[in-house]
Amino acid sequence: MPVYNKLVRDRIPEVIESTGKQFSTRILENVEYIQELKNKSFEELEEYINAENDNEAIEELADLLEIIHALAECHGASFEKVDEVRQKKVQRRGGFKEKIFLIEVEDE
C-alpha cells in the first residue's frame, strides 16, 4: 500500500472510499496543519512552475489560491483581509504589471 503522508483536500477520503480501497487518515493539530499547508504550497508551486500550458497553469494557481485561503484563516484573517493588505502594498510599492527587471543599483 503506497504511503503518502501529506495534506489532501477534504473530499479525497470520500473519493478513495468510492473506489472501495482501504486507507487511513488523521486530523492534524493546528501547528502541524500550518506546516503541512506550507509544504503543500511548495508542491503546488512546483506543479505551477512545471505546467506545460495555460490550462495547467490555471489549475495549479487555483490550488495555490486554495492554500492561501486556508493559511489566511489559520492566521486569523479572511482572504479579503489578505487582499486588502495586497492592495495597500500595490499602492505603496506597485505591482508586477510593468514587468520591471532590476539589474543593479549603485552602491554608495
Domain that holds residue 40: 28-93
Per the domain annotation, does 37 fall within a domain?
A: yes
108 pLDDT higher than 90: no
pLDDT of residue 1: 82
Per the domain annotation, does 18 fall within a domain?
A: no
pTM of the model: 0.88
pLDDT of residue 81: 97
Per the domain annotation, does 38 fall within a domain?
A: yes
At 57-78, the pLDDT tens digits run 999 999 999 999 999 999 999 9
Q: How many domains does the chain have?
A: 1
15 pLDDT higher than 90: yes
Long-range CB contacts for residues 34-41, cutoff 8 Å, separation at least 24: 34/71, 34/74, 36/6, 36/7, 37/7, 37/67, 37/70, 37/71, 37/74, 38/71, 39/6, 39/7, 40/6, 40/7, 40/67, 41/67, 41/68, 41/71
Per the domain annotation, does 51 fall within a domain?
A: yes
